[in-house]
Structure 1
């Protein structure tokens, strides 16, 4: 049996929120070990982290770092990695695309927000079109990003799209499949309860309070 689970991270959504979404949707409980900036700046915790960064994830006696590795571990644990090798490979591809966009988003928020937001939002349709295309190629966009069962890549993509809908509220207007997909996944019973919870709603998106 997997667990118990502990997420060690800042009081943010950030790179841990897709992990939380996956766990909540799969009916799992976890402990939050919240790291303040004051504690992090002391440096001892950072030194103890394998790659000098968070999140840190505990699954019983297994300690993991790197958010995408954590998502993939949980995907294998809960059967969220597609039904065969082809789907697993397509999910890796899709999630790598999510990671590419996430890195651009993080760069904007932490380095280019004041003078780069307008250009970022203007270029965003080019980024989003790839995911609309992926959806259109899978059951006409009526299910998930790959296959007919939810996967780790769906949680990662939907979480990032939630952040972009706050950054640019109309960003999905030109992408009907993607817009409906976000609503459909977010409406899943346990995931919806998590997204409506104070734990999620009160958590800062990125720590910079920029959207």
Structure 2
């Protein structure tokens, strides 16, 4: 029996959350080792587990895989979530890079305060409403999935991005009926529905403890 993938990251969302989402959508069980001390992090570097001295890192299939996009692409290809041919993968990659850009605007929020945080919140809504969501709304016209006729990493990550932005602006889909329908539809896919249930390995919005742990390990 193959070993379950093992994820090395902090006990929170960050760049690892999309990996958790994708494994969840693929119906793959996984283990996690949470970094709680600088000593843990340094040990991973010392033994050569982190190619570029950075997390996230996923241990699976006898490899220690780093760099978020490499991790996601490997999982997507392994579990048939990466389209049927090179053209599909091209469009999947373009859509994924768009949702990644949007989510990278949300991820720093817990680390920001005051005016900087307020400006970032406004930026997130502006980009979602005027740059990114119109693209996905148009792409989904007349079809259930962004690319082809089956679920791909592009759909999984779009749902993740929608839910992340809604936590900041709960009315952000008010002018996007196609995305509203997409959200409802994809949330009912059995593996995704399971991942969205309480008690799953999906992480909540980062709290002060998470921020303090990351700052202590990476910046102290």
TM-score bucket of the superposed structures, by smaller chain: 0.7 to 0.9
Of 124-133 and 89-98, the range deviating more from structure 2: 124-133
Distance 1:139 1:44, change over 3 A: closer
- 2:133 alignment partner in structure 1: 132
SS of match in other structure, 2:149: coil
Mapped to 1, the partners of 2:19 and 2:181 lie a distance apart of 22
Distance 1:161 1:117, change over 3 A: farther
The alignment's C-alpha RMSD in Å is: 2.7
Mapped to 2, the partners of 1:8 and 1:105 lie a distance apart of 21
- 1:13 alignment partner in structure 2: 13
Segments of structure 1 that go 5 or more residues without pairing to the other structure are none
Contact in 1 for aligned 2:99/2:157 (Cα 8 Å): yes
- 2:28 alignment partner in structure 1: 28
- 1:179 alignment partner in structure 2: 180
Mapping 1:107-146, distance limit 5 Å: 107-110=108-111, 112-123=112-123, 124-140=125-141, 142-146=143-147
Asked if 1:81 is matched to 2:78, the reply is: no
Distance 1:8 1:149, change over 3 A: same
- 1:66 alignment partner in structure 2: 67
Mapped to 2, the partners of 1:117 and 1:183 lie a distance apart of 30
Mapped to 1, the partners of 2:22 and 2:148 lie a distance apart of 17
Distance 1:2 1:135, change over 3 A: farther
Contact in 2 for aligned 1:81/1:88 (Cα 8 Å): yes
Tell me how far 1:6 sits from its aligned partner: 1.0
Give deviations 1:82-116, integer Å, cap 9, x for gaps: 12222211111111112222222234442x44213
Segments of structure 2 that go 5 or more residues without pairing to the other structure are 212-220
Mapped to 1, the partners of 2:70 and 2:60 lie a distance apart of 13
Contact in 1 for aligned 2:10/2:36 (Cα 8 Å): yes
Distance 1:104 1:21, change over 3 A: closer
TM-score by length of 1: 0.83
